[in-house]
Structure 1
């Protein structure tokens, strides 16, 4: 058995609606829940050891740094450096520390939606890419995991529960062009039933190579970072949630103090191995700002998508309220705003992701 087969023929009704349209009902729901709990940011207390609970502006490495020995074994090795005059050597030192060679993944320590994620294949490329990031930017150097499938798993555990549950599992697929020996890259994109509906996502990926012809049978992956808004294709994999996988995820997430709500992005060897809770590596853990991304499967209805979103965000308020009763504090409106502005400023300064 393999991951769900790609079907590029259609998009869902709402898949690429502007954020200002799709998320407006969610913002209204968030506001109403905030009024009910008398704290608009109470959900940020759901993961109280993380800045804003992982809603915005948090350091990716700070979440991974909290992992205990069980969780550490499941996380792809990484180090953090700060971009500057000695950044090339710092990256090389970081690579030596985690015992990897090129290719290696370089990504901003603060960011979202895969912005700025780069696959560095050589020393020459590293020297070209580092100046694209502002001086002083914190960058994660992470081992490239060779497992072929990328999966997003959503995990929720209420403070009074001894173990949590998986509420979403999604396979992420990179859009791929297959050459016929005649068509240009641009023609291949415009001939694809899915890609031609959102060419603004894919044509920039081949800038300067629009007229290149891909040899017959040769393939070209258009995206490295697995993010829907950048053009990745998401497939609902919830039928592959098993007790063994749930037990393994619990063992990992219970080894991260006071983590109750978020999405785990991992690379897996195969769906069969994953269902046994085996052969996977975590590449990122996201907090309150993450989504149950199976909603971006083209077969998901708008009603189901909103039902899923409202359910998950309600859990953040319930968990946040419970954590406040334990003595933890939310980020507050101004604290959250500062974190959001910081993240927004940084995102605007990063290069396009691979």
Structure 2
């Protein structure tokens, strides 16, 4: 099991000693972390509410929040109204979450009702974004600056691996020197597959 699949209760407490050492070094309190993004609760840390963050933006994909504390019939009614307006499939995800944990693509009312009836925390239901590409943008603005800067753009894509007809996918991946064709649209790219046993994952280099 890699670290992405482990409980956050096992991961994030490890940050506490590091944060404490920085607070001592710079003679401040942990509250300084939240000042990095003053409009975001807790500075946008993983336990912050997505709803509280994205409501500050003028243009966002349509969404609604379903409170776990609301009566069951109200939750179902609100979720169904949203799905009726924006059509299936729709996206459901925890209001406080990270690393893609518990994000679901709901394809029909049966799946929606099941998710809502089993609800344990606040959910965000969002219109499905079917754009062909996704990018992560790192933006920052220092105090006093009228406009910020984009310092990195990351294109997110899932590679498609094509075998050689002889070996299993596992055998190809475990050979760190293997060169296999990867489909990207109609083109074929030559990439090197590298096994990273420390994280239990395999990556395309």
* TM-score band, normalised by shorter chain: 0.5 to 0.7
Q: Given the superposition, is the C-alpha separation of residues 170 and 123 from structure 1 closer, same or farther in structure 2, using an over 3 Å criterion?
A: same
1:125 to 104, 111, 114: 111
Answer yes or no: is the 8 Å Cα contact 1:120–1:126 preserved in 2: yes
1:90 to 78, 81, 88: 78
Q: Given the superposition, is the C-alpha separation of residues 79 and 192 from structure 1 closer, same or farther in structure 2, using an over 3 Å criterion?
A: farther
Answer yes or no: is the 8 Å Cα contact 2:40–2:53 preserved in 1: yes
Answer yes or no: is the 8 Å Cα contact 1:177–1:188 preserved in 2: no
Cross-structure match for 1:169: 153
Normalization by structure 2: what TM-score? 0.67
Larger radius of gyration: 2
Cross-structure match for 1:38: 27
As a proportion of its length, which structure holds more helix?
Answer: 1
- Shift of residue 126 of structure 1? 1.6
2:50 to 60, 78, 81: 60
As a proportion of its length, which structure holds more strand?
Answer: 2
CA distances 1:143-165 after superposition (whole Å, capped 9, x unpaired)? 11111111111111101211111
Answer yes or no: is the 8 Å Cα contact 1:50–1:63 preserved in 2: yes
- Shift of residue 103 of structure 1? 0.3
- Shift of residue 142 of structure 1? 0.5
Aligned residues: 173
Q: Secondary structure at the match of 1:129?
A: helix
Q: Secondary structure at the match of 1:193?
A: helix
- How far apart, in 1, do the equivalents of 2:79 and 2:163 lie? 36
Cross-structure match for 1:193: 173
- How far apart, in 1, do the equivalents of 2:137 and 2:88 lie? 28
- Shift of residue 127 of structure 1? 2.6
- Shift of residue 138 of structure 1? 1.2
- How far apart, in 2, do the equivalents of 1:131 and 1:92 lie? 12
Cross-structure match for 2:142: 158
Cross-structure match for 1:101: 87
Cross-structure match for 1:307: none
Cross-structure match for 1:110: 96
- How far apart, in 1, do the equivalents of 2:72 and 2:148 lie? 45
Bigger RCO of structures 1 and 2 (CA < 8 A, at least 6 apart): 1
- Shift of residue 88 of structure 1? 2.8
- How far apart, in 2, do the equivalents of 1:172 and 1:27 lie? 30
Q: Secondary structure at the match of 2:72?
A: coil
Answer yes or no: is the 8 Å Cα contact 1:151–1:171 preserved in 2: yes
Cross-structure match for 2:192: none
Corresponding position: 1:76 with 2:61: yes
- Shift of residue 59 of structure 1? 0.6
- How far apart, in 2, do the equivalents of 1:131 and 1:172 lie? 33
Answer yes or no: is the 8 Å Cα contact 2:65–2:123 preserved in 1: yes
> RMSD over aligned Cα, in angstroms?
3.9
Answer yes or no: is the 8 Å Cα contact 1:106–1:139 preserved in 2: yes
Cross-structure match for 1:145: 129
Q: Given the superposition, is the C-alpha separation of residues 45 and 90 from structure 1 closer, same or farther in structure 2, using an over 3 Å criterion?
A: same
Q: Given the superposition, is the C-alpha separation of residues 29 and 149 from structure 1 closer, same or farther in structure 2, using an over 3 Å criterion?
A: same
